[in-house]
Amino acid sequence: MATAKPPAKTTRKAVVAVKEPEQYRMPTEVANWIEQAESRIKYLTTKVAELKAENDLLRKSNKVMEARVMGQSQE
């Protein structure tokens, strides 16, 4: 008696369609406005950092000058 194996079951994988996210186009005026705003933000951020550094330097200089005027200088 020969026992025959039943044929192997074929498995089918469901093909899932991957949808790409929709891309919207913005008017060039809006894109230009955004670029200009980003540029202004970058400039102002740099300017704030420079002014903070200058402010620290002026505070140190002020303390030195105050010590000279008050006669507490080590010079």
Residue 18 lies in a domain: no
Alpha-carbon span 67 to 75, nearest angstrom: 10
Determine, yes or no, domain membership for 64: yes
Could you tell me which residue, 66 or 44, shows the higher pLDDT?
44
Residue 55: C-alpha distances to residues 33, 48, 51, 61 (Å): 32, 10, 6, 10
pLDDT of residue 41: 98
Flag whether 17 is in a domain: no
Range of the domain at 37: 27-75
Of 71 and 42, which is predicted with more confidence?
42
- Distance, in Å, from the CA atom of 41 to the CA atom of 13, rounded to the nearest integer, reads 51
Whether 52 shows a pLDDT value over 80: the answer reads yes
The structure's pTM equals: 0.52
Asked if 40 and 46 touch (Cβ cutoff 8 Å), the reply is no
Six token digits for residue 23: 């891309």
Domain tally for the chain? Answer: 1
8 found inside a domain:
no
Residue 41: inside a domain, yes or no? yes
